[in-house]
Structure 1
């Protein structure tokens, strides 16, 4: 038996021998990819800011990912070449096959390397990967000329891209020639040490990237070009989007529903913009622009403090669940008692990128794309960009690294400045900085401001809070989250108490909310991509400030409503593509029918949810092969309305919700991909 196995290994090695130059090409190409990764991760972007704040958290994954795909490509070329050589039969033909295979493999890497450099530069300049969608957006010659101007004014090293482009292929070939001199295999059966080392490193790389230290945001950011091409060519085609022929029907259905929920005619959808394929584009009416209440708000020049609490799920917030004793969020509860509270607020996207982008854009997160990275090149205005353009000083302050999941690229488009320091990742030190900067700098600039604060300590696995005891860290997740939520609540209290006696605070709206919740086993779900149930979607949301009486509002709402609501408080009515509604329209208007209608809408990693007309539907999306229906008042979703238990009226409503969910998400996906 052993001699037979040995003979088989010898034959396999002998058949592969003519293709050994593929190994050398792979090693040379991998080395050049390492150099390109270092140049990407350890340099600043063209505007002088670090491309990533923690390059040490990315570089080893980048090296391993490149090694994995290069070895996979090597295996494909080698196997195909060996099969063809075997079919060819004669040794002379087999040698020719090996030579042709080697040349094709070299050409393959000679093409991939320049495109990798281009992808790196696109990430540095635009924040997203190279894609067919991006090339379609920037296909005209003016974009090429603009790219040259950007390179010339790169605050890292001007023109370095062109130098690298000119030298990378000769350098790779030179390295290959050096490897050829070192790598001289003996005749007969052998296993070269380098090949064994490659196999070992391949296994180690796979375990490191996919088992030991995973991270979807990092993997998206480090996605190699070959993966991008495959995704664009094959995966994107499998998804049925919104066809141009159907756009008119979907547009009409969406706009009619929006106007029905809004309950007035103060906004008009623009025919001019619709002709350009923008179904969401709407403009304020003359009546709204001349509104005395809007003018009064604008003359107030109010400040805004928007606090986004990481994973602060509604199921554990005290004022939303009076039965929880003691409450994990005593300060939030006390602040909510004197605020306008929306009890039925839902996130419009997960994870943090989904919640943050939905809040800013007024559109649900894309139902299938990694929006923060895949659509970074698309022009999408937010409520913050409107405030910034209107003279506000806008600052995004984050305890978590916004470059981690590409949020920094988006906030840089909208905000005056971004604040992050890896030494301030605990909410305590983060709030120290926020207190000092808001109180001593922002409030003294002589113009209104928006300060957005993104906390971190209440993050899975809920052991980040400073000062947690060993006993607390050993608690089950369902109990441990109360500890970290309580810690985040105390830091919020420190911030508010430090500024609430300042004179400018009297003219400030404080908005407190969560980016999303977190599933901890309710409804049989314990992972973020497991559905859109209330454990992940139901979040706290309230506004505290001048002119807002304490209220418990049961209007159905979602993060897409925040953008239009904030702009209304600021006194601005501008053309926009928000899908959400002004949540204070019953407060700001002279007369609005009661109760005010509402809509909640969100897309959650292969799932989606909609709340409308008294029901909330959670479904797999886009297939909708699995759906769950609850009464909207059942916020904890403890009693599912199964199909056989439903009345005929509820069944019709459920069918309507399925169709409406599909309509709205196709419209929103289309709009996100097109932008303005």
Structure 2
């Protein structure tokens, strides 16, 4: 038995011998890709800032990822070449014909890599300048000749090394050929020994690479950022084409359906949808009425020039927030509970996207996360204003402060578009040290600049696997996830309490709105789901959200809402009404009081309050809508799996699926309409 297996191995190795040059070409190409990755990850971007803050956390994934796709390409070419050699080999001159096929295959394989390498360099530069990958959508956006001239100007002013891109472009193929020739000299085949040794080594490294990036140290956002060009082309040609978006011919019908629903929920005539040139025919583009622009309410808010502190708390679940679930004793969030008792609280707030990129971008843009694309990376080239950009343009000093690296999932690219500055330091990733720095900067710098400010704080410690909080005991770290999250949520709550207590006695605090919310929740087995991409149930979508500040009474609001509503609501508080493509609604329409909150009883229960509302979100293959008293969840876009609950059933313990077929059909169609409209708007920008 053993001799026959050995003979088979020898025959297999012998059959690979004619294609041994493909192995050398693969190794040479891999070496050049490693060099390109180093030049991308360890360099500054063109604006003088590190491309990523932790290149050491990226480079090993990049090296392994490139090895995997290069080996896959090698196998394809070898198999095709071997089949052709077998087909045309015949009985006479078989070896000679096989050698010709192998030579042609080698030339084609070398040409393949000669094409891929320059496009990889271009993709790297697109990431450095625009934050997104090279794609057909980006080419369509920047297809005019002026973009080429603009790119040359950008290269000339690159704050890393000007013109280095052109030098690398000129030298990369000769350098790759030089590496190939060195490999040829260093490894001389001897009766198939080289082929066998190299192939075995490559197989071992292939398995190790796969296990490293897909099992040992995974990370979807990082993998998206590091996607090779071959993967981008494949996705654009085959995957994206299979998914039906919004056709231009259907745009008018969908636009009318969406706009009618928006006006029905908004319930006023302060805004008008417009087909003006500025909006490029976008279905979401709306402009404020003259009455709204001249209203005394907005004028009074503008004259106040209020400050804003927006706290985005990592994975803060509504299910584990004390004021949202009084039955939880003791409450994991005592400070949030006490502040909520004096604030306008939305009890039915849902995230509009997961993971963090989805929640954060939805909050800023007023549009749900894209239902199919990795928005933070795939659409980074699209120009989309946010509520922050409006504040910045109107004289606000806007600062994004994050305990987690915003470059990790490409959020830093988006924040740079809107904020005056962003702040991150890898030595301040614990919420305690992060909050220490935020206190100092807000109190001693922002508050003394003489202009209104927005400080956005993104926490980190309450992150899966919920053992990041400083000072956790071994006993706490060994608790089940369902209990351990209470420990880390409590830790994050204490850090936010320290921040608020450190500024609440400052004079400017009286003119400050504090907004506290989560980016998303986290599934911990409820509804049979325990992974963040496993569905759109309330365990991942239901989040805390409240606003505390001047003119806001203590209210328990049961209006269905989601993160897309935050952008128009914040601008209402700032007193600005500008043309926009927000899909959400102003949650304070008609409800902004003229006097500050004066409640002092921490045990008081605010009065219930409700407007017509809508909650909407897209969640990594799932989507959900809350409308007309129901919350509908579907696998999207197929909708071959659906669930429906009463909107008031926030813990979603009583499923109504199959009992409300008319409602399910209506909500299914509405969900599809809204997401096609929102996806279209995100892809086209403004």
Deviation of the 1:193 alpha carbon: 2.9
Partner SS state of residue 456, structure 1: coil
Q: 2 CA distance for matches of 1:92 and 1:304? A: 77
Q: Residues 380-395 of structure 1 correspond to what in structure 2 (within 5 A)?
A: 380-395=384-399
Q: How far apart, CA to CA, are the structure 2 residues paired with 1:161 and 1:595?
A: 57
Give the equivalent residue in structure 1 for 2:648. 633
Question: Does structure 1 residue 542 correspond to structure 2 residue 557?
Answer: no
Structure 2 counterpart SS, 1:452: strand
1:484-542 Cα distance to aligned partner (Å, 9 max, x none)? 00000000000000000000000000000000000001111111111111100000000
For the residue of structure 1 that corresponds to 2:591, the secondary structure is helix
Q: In structure 2, how many angstroms separate the alpha carbons of the residues matched to 1:330 and 1:469?
A: 21
2:474 aligned partner: 470
Deviations 1:288-334 (A, max 9, x none): 00000000000000000000010000000000001111100000000
Write the deviation string for residues 224-245 of structure 1: whole angstroms up to 9, x where unpaired: 0001010000000110101111
The answer to whether the 8 A contact 1:615-1:629 is kept is yes
**Counterpart among 381, 397, 400 of residue 396 in structure 1:** 400
Q: 1:624 aligns with which of 634, 639, 650?
A: 639
Aligned pair partner of 1:156 in 151, 156, 160:
160
User: Is 1:303 the equivalent of 2:318?
Assistant: no
Contact 2:632 2:664 in 1 (8 A): yes
Give the direction of change, closer, same or farther, for the CA distance of 1:519–1:167 in structure 2 (3 Å limit).
Answer: same
Structure 2: state its 5+ residue gaps: 595-608
SS of the aligned residue for 1:608 comes to strand
Q: Does 1:34 align with 2:44?
A: no
The one of 413, 429, 434 equivalent to 2:433 is 429
Contact 2:37 2:59 in 1 (8 A): yes
- Report the Cα offset of residue 626 of structure 1: 1.2
Inter-partner Cα distance in structure 2 for 1:275 and 1:118: 31
Asked whether the 8 Å contact 1:309–1:454 carries over to 2, the reply is: yes
2:459 corresponds to 1:459: no
Does the CA contact (< 8 Å) of 1:24 and 1:176 recur in 2? yes
Assess, with a 3 A threshold, how the Cα gap between structure 1 residues 474 and 261 changes in structure 2: closer, same or farther. same
Deviations 1:374-406 (A, max 9, x none): 000000100000000000000000000100000
Name 2:20's counterpart in structure 1.
20
SS in 2 for 1:581: coil
Partner of residue 600, structure 1: 615
Structure 1 residue 273: deviation in Å?
Answer: 4.4
Is 1:211–2:212 an aligned residue pair?
Answer: no
Q: Is the 8 A contact 1:398 1:454 kept in 2?
A: yes
What is the aligned partner in structure 1 of residue 202 from structure 2?
Answer: 198
Distance of 2:222 and 2:194 partners within structure 1: 39
Q: Distance in 1 between matches of 2:184 and 2:253?
A: 63
In structure 1, what is the equivalent of residue 495 of structure 2?
491
* Separation (CA, whole Å) in 1 of partners of 2:581 and 2:68: 42
Confirm or deny that 1:662 pairs with 2:672: yes
Cα drift, residue 194 of structure 1: 2.8
Distance 1:519 1:275, change over 3 A: closer
- Is structure 2 residue 8 aligned with structure 1 residue 4? no
1:279 aligns with 2:283: yes
| Shift in CA distance, 320/175, structure 1 to aligned 2, threshold 3 Å | same
* Contact 2:551–2:592, Cα closer than 8 Å, also in 1: no
Once the 2 structures are TM-superposed, how far is the Cα of residue 366 of structure 1 from its aligned partner? 0.3
Distance 1:514 1:245 in 2: 38
Q: CA deviation at 1:190?
A: 6.4
Q: Could you report, residue by residue, the CA deviation over 1:398-433 in whole angstroms, capped at 9, with x for unpaired residues?
A: 000100000000000000000000000000000000
Work out the CA distance in 1 between the residues paired with 2:205 and 2:499. 48
State the SS of the aligned residue for 1:40: helix
Moved more, 443-452 or 7-16: 7-16
TM-score (norm 2): 0.96
1:188/1:118 CA distance change after superposition, 3 Å: closer
Q: How far does the alpha carbon of each residue in 1:575-603 deviate from its partner, in whole angstroms, 9 at most, with x for none?
A: 0000000000021499xxx9520000000
Gaps in structure 1 of 5+ consecutive residues: none
1:191 to partner: Cα distance: 4.8
Assess if the C-alpha contact under 8 Å between 1:10 and 1:189 holds in 2: no
String of CA shifts for 1:547-571, please: whole Å, max 9, x gaps.
1111111111000000000000000
Q: Alpha-carbon deviations, 1:266-294, whole Å to 9, x = none?
A: 00001224983310000000000000000
Residue 675 of structure 1: aligned partner: 685
- The separation in 2 between residues aligned to 1:100 and 1:240, in whole angstroms, is 39
Q: Which residue of 1 aligns with 2:601?
A: none
Structure-2 residue corresponding to 1:365: 369
Q: Is the 8 A contact 1:532 1:604 kept in 2?
A: yes
State TM-score, norm by structure 1.
0.97
Rounded Cα–Cα distance in structure 2 between residues aligned with 1:166 and 1:662: 48
8 Å contact kept, 1:185–1:192: no
Asked if 1:60 is matched to 2:67, the reply is no
The residue that corresponds to 1:108 in the other structure is 112
Contact 2:299/2:575, CA 8 A, preserved across alignment: yes
CA contact (8 A) 2:403 2:424 kept: yes
The CA distance in 2 between the partners of 1:20 and 1:181, in whole Å, is: 13
* Counterpart-to-counterpart distance in 2, 1:418 and 1:341: 28
In structure 1, how many angstroms separate the alpha carbons of the residues matched to 2:496 and 2:95?
76
Q: How far apart in 2 are the matches of 1:274 and 1:377?
A: 19
Counterpart in 2 of 1:653? 663
Distance 1:463 1:12 in 2: 50
Question: CA separation in 1, counterparts of 2:225 and 2:612?
Answer: 40
Question: Residue 510 of structure 1 aligns to a residue in which SS?
Answer: strand
1:600/1:187 CA distance change after superposition, 3 Å = same
- Contact kept in structure 2, 1:284 and 1:575, CA below 8 Å: yes
Counterpart in 1 of 2:244? 240
